[in-house]
Amino acid sequence: MKKILITILVSAYSFLTYSQTTIKLEDITKHVGDSVKVCGKVYGIRFMEQSKNQPTL
């Protein structure tokens, strides 16, 4: 029982540690270089067939 409780606590702590902050699209310039989650609409994409390991923009 003790092992299960410790496993749950460690899992919850690691989930909170690695969660990202959600920001608005208007505030993206304030978070250059940060690890954040941006919410907004996708207006268009491009697929680059010759680009190696980076197929979209």
Regions of the chain short of the pLDDT cut 70 = 15-19, 51-57
- Global pTM reads 0.38
3-class SS at 26?
helix
Per the CB < 8 A criterion, the answer to whether 21 and 37 are in contact is yes
Instruction: Express each pLDDT in 31-46 by its tens digit.
Output: 888 878 887 787 887 7
Which residues, 6 or more positions from 49, have their beta carbon under 8 angstroms from its beta carbon? 55
Partners of residue 36 on adjacent β-strands: 21
